[in-house]
Structure 1
């Protein structure tokens, strides 16, 4: 598996996930564009969102994904996140039925209970994908789905850009970032009994360049990917 340090062009001070997202929580909503994740979810064809009764939102953050699910008539959404700062904002948003401070690889949520497990923009913080796919499998009912939106490894490698934020002092701070190739996702998911139903990738397009003119040199590069996995039994 590639090591992010081989591609890092920023060399920011790096902090762990909890420290990073607690520090980022107050400005997160202003810095993450819907084009990165929610617009990609909008494009997926495989999930019948209206048929989802119960969803587990892993790495739920400020509740953006939970609110998106509510907008598709998902009746019950449980959220899990390591960051107390992000969970406080999710609680204020009110999209989740329950919120738990915990690890997405060992959530403590009941097994075989969810029609959908969804995780958005968290996998780059995990050194190994296998525990995430194993926990998603444990949580999901037979016939249920796991939808994962990922910061695209090709963009991480091409840009040398870790997940990062600007702290209260104006310093750019990186959050521990790992590179997982598309094939790494496929290998880890298949090993835990998932079947790939859909894969879509978003690229840096005119909208991205309008929002971030300095990204003109990345036009056409993939920026994020969405996987739809089915638990067949």
Structure 2
């Protein structure tokens, strides 16, 4: 892991994950672009989404990923999140069979029970990747997949921009952000017993610049990445 502080160009006041997402919940759905995560998931060729009978949606948040999975034909999705306010929104959407307030490192979900474990836009908040990869491995069935999609470390470093949101009073607040290199993911995944099956990197392109014209200066930079791991 690389210390984000050496790249930070914003200097926003920073809050912890639970505090930040509780305050962000009202505007979260209008802030996060599908290009960042859902479009990257759609580009993957390894997961046969419609064949998955049960998935564990870790850091499920407001239920964006769960809704997308159900739309792809995943039969049932169980969600886990640290923030009660986010879980309340996910619950109102009705796409999860079960929702649990809990930590990603110790979800309390059944072991060897999920053909698919997935997490989106969370790894930059974790001080270490190993607990997440170990817990995902515990949850997955033999032959099951772990799909992780998140901000690309190169983009976090190039932009110097933490995960942040506009608070109710109009101020900008950052949520604790860490930089995990691609090699950190590979090391943590292999150490947990996973086999890497697929990886995709999404760069800032015409579509992104149309959404965010100020990102023209980042054109060609990878902005998000997805890893697909298989449990032997």
| Residue 170 of structure 2: aligned partner | 170
Correspondence 1:14 to 2:6 = no
2:26 aligned counterpart, secondary structure: coil
Matched residues in 2 for 1:216 and 1:83: separation?
34
Output the CA distance in 2 between the equivalents of 1:97 and 1:206: 38
Instruction: Report the alpha carbon displacement of residue 210 of structure 1 after superposing the two structures with TM.
Output: 1.2
Which structure 2 segments of 5+ residues have no match? none
> Which residue of structure 2 lines up, in the alignment, with residue 53 of structure 1?
53
- Specify the SS of the correspondent of 1:27: helix
Report how far residue 49 of structure 1 moved. Answer: 0.8
1:192 corresponds to: 192
Q: Tell me how far apart the structure 2 counterparts of residues 42 and 220 of structure 1 sit (CA, whole Å).
A: 20
**Residue of structure 2 in register with 1:105 after alignment:** 105
- The CA RMSD over aligned residues, in Å, is 0.6
Residues 1:222 and 2:190 aligned together = no
Q: In the TM superposition, what whole-angstrom CA distance separates every residue of 1:86-135 from its partner, at most 9, and x where no partner exists? A: 11110111110011111111100010100000000000000000000000
Distance (Å, rounded) in 2 between the aligned partners of 1:42 and 1:13: 34
Identify the residue that residue 71 of structure 1 maps to in structure 2: 71
Q: Find the counterpart in structure 2 of residue 181 from structure 1.
A: 181
Distance 2:39 2:96 in 1: 20
Q: Secondary structure at the match of 2:19?
A: helix
1:150-169 equivalent positions in 2, closer than 5 A: 150-169=150-169
| Structure 1: gaps spanning 5 or more residues | none
Q: Which residue of 1 aligns with 2:147?
A: 147
For normalisation by structure 2, the TM-score amounts to: 0.99
Q: Secondary structure at the match of 2:103?
A: coil
CA shift for structure 1 position 207? 1.4
Measured in 1, the distance between the counterparts of 2:20 and 2:207 equals 27
Question: Quick one: distance in 1 between partners of 2:105 and 2:155?
Answer: 25
CA distance in 1, matches of 2:222, 2:24: 24
For residues 209 and 50 of structure 2, what CA distance do their matches in structure 1 show?
33
Q: What's the TM-score, normalizing by structure 1?
A: 0.99
Q: How many residues are aligned here?
A: 232
Question: 1:31, 1:50 → 2: CA distance?
Answer: 28
